[in-house]
Amino acid sequence: MKYLLALDQGTTSSRAIVYDGRCRPVATAQQEFHQHFPQPGWVEHDAGEIWKSVRATAREAVSSAGITAADLAGIGITNQRETIVVWDRRTGHPIAPAIVWQDRRTADHMTALREAGQEALVQNRTGLLLDPYFSASKLHWLLRAVPGARQRATAGELAAGTIDSWLIWNLTGGREHVTDVTNASRTMLMDIRSGGWDDELLALFDIPKAILPRIAPSSGDFGTCDPALLGTAVPIHGVAGDQQAALFGQLCTDPGLVKCTYGTGCFMLLFTGPDAVPSRSRLLTTVAWQIGNAPMQYALEGSVFVGGAAIQWLRDGLGIIKSAPEVNDLAARVPDSGGVVIVPAFAGLGAPWWDPSARGSLFGITRGTTGAHIARATLESIAWEVADVLGAMQKDSGRRITALRVDGGASASDLLMQMQADALGVRIERPRNVETTALGAAMMAGLGAGLWKNSDELATVRETDRTFICATTAKDRRAKLKIWRKAVKRARNWTEES
Ligand code: ADP
C-alpha cells in the first residue's frame, strides 16, 4: 500500500500527517514556533525556524507511522497564505524575517493606492481588495527596507515566495523555486485569469520579476525532496493554500458547493468552477486550484473575523465558561436566547458590511437575562454572521446554495451546527475527518502521483459524520433575520464621530 505525507504549515504551528491510500490518517506530528511582534501591528516569523519545524514533524510522522520514505507516493503541502519570505539564492538564508499575513505595516501604502484610484485595476486583475493582508505590499516593503535588496533582486541574486515556495526550495535542496497557482493568486501580483505574473502589477509594486518563483498547477510536479530529508527522494505532487486545500479536502468540486471553516474566525469558500466570478459585495475572487493541465478553477471567498473567538471571549473575557466546549452545556440550559442578540464585531465587521468602526454589541438584556442566554446568543451570532456571508455569495454568484460543508474547531458544536442549519435553511454536512486542510493537500498529492485518476474517484473517501437539517420555517427565519439585521445596524458606525 502506498502512503501520502501532508505538510500543513499553519500560522502558529507546523503539522505533518501520514495518510494511507484511502486517505485515512495514520500518524501525526506537530510543532509550534515563535510569533514575533516587533512593533504594534507587525507580525513576523523566522522562516528558518518554520523550515526546521516542518523537517522535524515530517520525519517524526513518517517514523511514527512505522513506514519508510519509500512507502510514500508523494508529498502534499498546504500553508498559511500571503506570508512572504525573501532569501539569498546562493546561501539559502532569509535576508529578513518573514512578514506574516496578519501584519498591518503596509496599511498606509494601501490607502495611498486606493486614493490614487488603483483599486479597480487590482480587483479586476487579481480578484483581491487593496489590503495589507496580501503579499505584494509586504514584498515591496522588504525590498525597500533591507539595504541593497532591490538591486540584488534585479540582479537575480534573491528569491522571494510565499511559505509553500520557501518549503519547496528547502525540501529540494535549493533546486526548485516554484509556487502553486492558489498561493500565487494571493500575492496580488498574479492575473487570476491568465495564471501568470502581471507586468502592470509588478510595476505598481516595483517588484522585479527575477525574484519571483515559477507558477505551477496545484497538483502536478514540484520536484523531488532531497534524500537527506527522509532517507529516500520523494516527489512533491500537491501544493495549495490552506483554505483552498480545505475546499478540496471537503470535495467541493462541483460548482455551487461551499465550505465553511469555524476556527478563531470563519472562512467560507464557494466553488465556482471555471468561472472567476467578480464580486459586488467585496468578497474575494480567488483561484480554487488547477489539477495538472486542466483549466484553472475558481472560488468566491468571504471571512468573518470573529467566529470561535466569540466563544473564547465568553471564557476569557466574561469568565462564564471554563473551556470552549462548555458553551454548549451552558447554552442548552435555556430553550432560546430570551431576546438577547449579540453582534460580535470586536474588531469591526468584515464581509459583507466592511465596517471597521462597528463594535461588539449586546442587545435585548432584561432583568431575567442569564449567562445561558448570553452563551446561546453568542452561538447564534456566529451562525448569523456566516449566513450574511453566504447570502452575499448567493447574490454574487447567482446560485442558490443547498448545502454547507463544515469543518474547524467550533464545527464540533452540534448546537451551533443546528443553529446554522436553521439560520440558513440549508443542510449542514460535517465530515468524520474535520482535518480537511491536510487532507486536501494529501488528495492533491495523490492525484499528482496518479493514485486516483480524477477527483470523482475520491468521492468514496469522504465520510459524513453528521448532517443537520433545518428545523425552522421560512417565515420564522425571516423574522429572526430581521432582528439580527436591526442589531447589526445599531452596532455599525460606533467609533465614528457623530
Ligand atoms: P484555529 O485554527 O483558528 O486556531 P480551531 O479550528 O482550532 O481554530 O478552532 C478553535 C475554535 O473553536 C476556538 O475559538 C474555540 O472557541 C472553538 N471550539 C473548539 N471546540 C469547541 C466546541 N466543542 N464547541 C464550540 N466551540 C469550540
Across 350-355, average pLDDT: 84
In a domain, 443, yes or no: no
The pLDDT tens digits for 401-449 are 989 999 998 999 999 999 999 999 999 999 988 789 999 999 999 999 9
Mean pLDDT (the chain, rounded): 93
Question: Which whole-number Å values give the CA distances from 448 to 155, 239, 295, 299, in the listed order?
Answer: 34, 10, 15, 21
Residue 350, all three cell numbers? 468584515
Ligand 1 center to residue 309 CA distance, Å?
8
In a domain, 249, yes or no: no
pTM for this one?
A: 0.92
Across 346-367, average pLDDT: 89
Ligand 1 center to residue 310 CA distance, Å?
10
Residue 138, all three cell numbers? 509586504
4: which residues sit within 8 A by CB, 6+ positions away? 18, 19, 21, 23, 72, 73, 74, 75, 76, 442, 445, 446, 449, 451
Question: Which whole-number Å values give the CA distances from 216 to 223, 233, 288, 445, in the listed order?
Answer: 11, 20, 13, 13
Question: Which whole-number Å values give the CA distances from 270 to 291, 401, 432, in the listed order?
Answer: 18, 9, 21
In a domain, 116, yes or no: yes
DSSP tag of 317: I
CA-derived radius of gyration, the chain? 22
460: which residues sit within 8 A by CB, 6+ positions away? none
| Ligand 1 lining (C-beta closer than 6 Å) | 263-264, 308-309, 311-312, 324-325, 327-328, 408-410, 412-413
Which residue has 452545556 as its cell numbers?
329
The pLDDT tens digits for 185-205 are 999 999 999 999 999 999 999
CA-proximal residue: ligand 1, atom 9 (nearest): 409
- Provide the pLDDT for residue 464: 76
- Provide the pLDDT for residue 497: 58
Ligand 1 center to residue 18 CA distance, Å?
23
In a domain, 113, yes or no: yes
Across 85-102, average pLDDT: 95
Mutational test site, ligand 1, from 413, 417, 420, 465, max ligand atoms within 8 Å of CB? 413
For every residue of 214-226, DSSP letters joined together read EEE-SBS---B--
Pairing of strands 72-79, 3-9: parallel
- Provide the pLDDT for residue 297: 97
Would you say residue 171 has pLDDT above 90?
yes
CA-proximal residue: ligand 1, atom 23 (nearest): 325
Ligand 1 center to residue 260 CA distance, Å?
13
CA-proximal residue: ligand 1, atom 25 (nearest): 410
- Provide the pLDDT for residue 305: 83
In a domain, 15, yes or no: yes
328: which residues sit within 8 A by CB, 6+ positions away? 379, 413, 414, 415, 416
- Provide the pLDDT for residue 332: 96
Banded model confidence at residue 331, pLDDT cuts 50, 70, 90 = very high
The SS3 call for residue 396 is helix
In a domain, 481, yes or no: no
The pLDDT tens digits for 23-71 are 899 999 999 999 888 988 888 999 999 999 999 999 999 999 999 999 9
Would you say residue 498 has pLDDT above 60?
no
Ligand 1 center to residue 407 CA distance, Å?
10
What CATH number corresponds to the domain at position 13? Answer: 3.30.420.40
Rounded to 5 degrees, φ, ψ at 321 are -135, 155
456: which residues sit within 8 A by CB, 6+ positions away? none
Percent pLDDT > 70 in the chain is: 99
In a domain, 104, yes or no: yes
The pLDDT tens digits for 273-299 are 999 999 998 899 999 999 999 999 999
The pairs formed by 148-157 with CB atoms below 8 angstroms and a separation of 24 or more are: 149/86, 149/95, 150/206, 150/208, 153/86, 153/207, 153/208, 153/210, 153/211, 154/208, 154/210, 155/210, 156/89, 156/210, 157/88, 157/89, 157/90
Question: How many distinct structural domains can be found in the chain?
Answer: 1
Banded model confidence at residue 242, pLDDT cuts 50, 70, 90 = very high
Banded model confidence at residue 134, pLDDT cuts 50, 70, 90 = very high
Q: Quote the domain boundaries for residue 221.
A: 3-242
Ligand 1 center to residue 480 CA distance, Å?
25
In a domain, 310, yes or no: no
Mutational test site, ligand 1, from 13, 267, 305, 311, max ligand atoms within 8 Å of CB? 311
Ligand 1 center to residue 422 CA distance, Å?
21
Would you say residue 453 has pLDDT above 90?
no
Distance of CA 390 to the CA centre of its chain: 16
Residue 56, all three cell numbers? 522535524
